[in-house]
Structure 1
Amino acid sequence: MILANADLVLPDRVMRGALRFEGEMIAEMTEGENVPPGAVDCGGDLVIPGLIELHTDNLERHMRPRPQVDWPHETAILAHDGELASVGITTVFDALRVGSIYGSSKGYAPYALALVNEINGLTARQATRISHFIHLRAEICSETLVEEMEAFGEDHRVRLVSLMDHTPGQRQFRDITKLEEYEKGKHGLSDAQFEAHVARLMELRARIGDRHEHEAVRIAQKLSATLASHDDTTAEQVGVSATHGVQLAEFPTTVEAARASHAAGIKVIMGAPNLIRGGSHSGNVAAEELARADLLDILSSDYIPSSLLMAAFRLADIWDDLPRAIATVTATPADATGLTDRGRIGEGLRADLVRLRPTGQTPHVRGVWCKGRQVG
């Protein structure tokens, strides 16, 4: 397979040239507009590395398309997989909650291990279009966190663990009215149910939160997973994250926390929807503000898969640097999670590629390849 006469987005420049890939790997890269016999003439379209998504809740939307509606998991996983392939994502870290609350009005029950086995089973059967890894979202305010995490082993492909502390009144929901809007809107909680939910979370954090945090870090190390913090707000919280060995700061809520993360050598992830919408739906710091302050390293589509590519091009406009912007959704997330075989265009690397044509505010995907196989 040869893609020729394309603008190849390399780590440091954009080069008109051609790519030849054999099997799963890029075999050769040449410069120039020449179109060899049998090659695909890209006509100047951009070719970038396949996108790498570290934190997405998209699978949950396919599993539960309406409140109280549970969809068959295999169908949901494959629909999620196909949607990601269609927007240029070739590697995904499926974010799954671990840590449940018995008798919760929100219906929280353990589900991650069984779902991971289903995802990995489909991958083993080569039923998925793209590469799937597991991201465990460790809920500190829960009752079952340790026993759920202990059930995972090296074969489960857990490469990322994030510490999720949703204690009301701090981090993402410092403003409890924002939490109330979110919980009532998403889960339909009544006033009494919301008050009980807040009280329960506060009690759990006070009683076993510190132990859960310590155990989540220990188990992440045992699984050789990259460790992430979530919604750090203050420099003090970032300092705690650094002592845990955190390497990624997911969605810091303030400039202070983002700056402290950089000072500690922690990469900052921000949501692509935040950048596209012009701000956070929770009232926290805007991704664009961090981008203009050079405090943004990685983008995540979070809950809208198509936002990842759109936001990368928005960053290219802000920074006037397309290779740097594309790296936030390719090379940098690959490096942060130890994926040395992808995230860049180069000989000997995986043929995870996206052909696209920038059109207005929305880049149009014209072809997606994962391990050399066209999947979109």
Structure 2
Amino acid sequence: MCFGYLRRAALAGLLCLAATGAGARELLIGYLALADDARYDARQLEHRYQGQPGGRPLAGAEVALDEADFGAQAQGLALRLVAVEADAADGLAAALDALRAQGAHFVLVDLPAAPLAALAAATRGRDVTLINVSAAADALRGAQCQAHLLHTLPSEAMAADALAQYLVSRKWRRVLALVGPTPADRARMDAFAAAAKRFGLKLAAERPFRLSNDPRERELGNIALLSAGEDYDAVYVADSDGEFARDAQYRTVLPRPVVGSAGLVAEAWHWAWERNGAPQLESRFRRHAQRPMTGTDWAAWVAVKAVVEAALRAPADAAAMDAWLRGPDAVIDGFKGARLSFRPWDGQLRQPVFLAHGNGVAAAAPIDGFLHPVNALDTLGPDRPESACRP
């Protein structure tokens, strides 16, 4: 096993399968990111808002590689991780072209939704597979989907469906929605509105909020005013940044639970999950990264685990690995208590979603009683007939 980290390099992090002397094979696992990704700004990270990254997900990939190393070596497979940060989004496609020239096929990608969509479109039809570990945007699984793009982080729709199922199970059917001013806030709200319709919730009202120093907009940041004048069982907050949502709890006019971007949050991972070997994984991650594991860390961890498993199960070449990952025989243990696999219609990893608060996990969706004719995990996010993905 080998870890490597590069910056401003011609090659941007790769995952390829190659023969390495005396019948041994080498699996080089790469991680591609942007140097100035605002999601990992130090000032943003120090707030530790619920549902936000705790740091670069590279740490999750490193832990997964370390875990897989012993078993891989026993089967003659040497593992290596190479990571790079590109200086700007306009250099990503060229970096991938250089990777392909060196034989790269699989690339873990830690990018915001817009540059990831552009990169996926630019590499359409080429001999490369991208694995999205940090962008939850539904469009990447829908209208902007690509045949060579997989996703290990749950989508906004999956998170919204998980919350909606829980609210229905608790009989909290009337929901007041507070939505922020950014496109990401709007997309999150749209996902929840669709989930509410799907599972029979009623939106009592939808009200905009805005954090501003302008006295004329002061009322738009006042939670007491925003939550007055309606009857509701819960308050849903769509706040992709997390600053407004943090203060929503215990400040609503009616004493009601806050869900969405604070309070009860749908997450890919939470440090307090105590089943399925999760405490052991959390402990290993904390020793390595010196912080709790978050959803994006888990997404990078499971992405590496899935590709290493593919290399062991279908070692012939990258095409065989690809076929195994996307096929019906792929089963991945994500330490969540369910058999995980990639959906063939949009490349999304099926998985449970945790409904977590600050110090614990209230439930794991799909919630008992929400059934599906094939796989209950497909009650989270668009099912095959509903998918807008046409790669």
Whichever structure has more strand as a proportion of its residues is 1
Same fold by TM-score, threshold 0.5 exceeded?
A: no
Provide the TM-score with structure 1 as the length reference: 0.29
